[in-house]
Amino acid sequence: MKIFKNKRKLQREIIKIKNISFVPTMGSIHKGHEKLINIAKRRFKKVLVSIYVNPKQFNSRDDFRSYPRNIKKDINALKRLKVDYLYIPNYSDVFFFKPKKQIYLHSFSKKLCGKLRKGHFKGVINVINRFLEIIKPKYMLLGKKDFQQLYLIKKHIEKNKIPTIVIPCKTVRNKNGTALSSRNNNLKKDELIKLAKIIKKIKKSKKSINKSKILKILNEMSVKKVDYVEFLNLNSLKTPVNTKTKFNIFVAFYIGKTRLIDNF
């Protein structure tokens, strides 16, 4: 695995690779990331992974500082997975240039996480837009756990006619049903058990489109702060009128100081 911290050196290395695939991460590599990487390895020739904790998508300095980081562990994990290229840029390497494409934020950015995390998705699209210009990947693999982020990135790419194909990948879950997430590293053992119980109870309630029922579950499980509970049709992005249409429950809540999101 070749490691790059400078975009120009990276570009000289990959300029002749036509079908490079890209897996953007903020580190704390887990089995969800591994799944994306293994799909990329199986379907495409060369795989490039980035590790960059993007300050522009955090709404507080404390959240940015507390985001789990373990670069040595990440490098070892990626070497084990036989990733071809790893890009670990610093702030200036990513942001000290003017990108050719303008940021496009679809109206969906104002819902769910966008309601409470002002500027979050602008920060996400900003950094992805820059990575796409630096790397020019043929494919980019993203997880469906962050459905809103995935949707907005796709809309930005479509609007700007960027020649990168987004490959959506299923959410990877533990045996207890919890979605794999880097933020899970901030949870204590008893909090992880609590999270598993919450997800199990919410899943059981999916048969009825009843927000108050889920809020009651969260209250009974001593969840002190809930950002949202929403039911959305994945195609129309509207609240389903009945259970016959395909929809997901979207939730965002806190366990302790850790904010967790999921959809299923």
Show the domains of the chain with their CATH numbers.
Answer: 2-169 (3.40.50.620), 182-263 (3.30.1300.10)
Active-site residue among 33, 106, 120, 156?
A: 33
Q: Is 120 a catalytic residue?
A: no
> CA 189, CA 196: separation in Å to the nearest integer?
11
**What was the pLDDT predicted at 217?**
96
**What was the pLDDT predicted at 207?**
83
Strands 247-255 and 226-233: antiparallel
**What was the pLDDT predicted at 33?**
97
Q: H/E element holding 47?
A: strand 47-51
**What was the pLDDT predicted at 242?**
84
Number of helices and strands in the chain (H, E): 10, 9
**What was the pLDDT predicted at 104?**
98
* Low-confidence stretches of the chain (pLDDT beneath 50): none
Q: For residue 251, which of 243, 225, 237 has the smallest C-alpha distance?
A: 225
**What was the pLDDT predicted at 77?**
98
The gap from C-alpha 200 to its chain's centroid, in whole angstroms, comes to 22
**What was the pLDDT predicted at 226?**
98
Q: For residue 84, which of 130, 29, 31, 44 has the smallest C-alpha distance?
A: 44
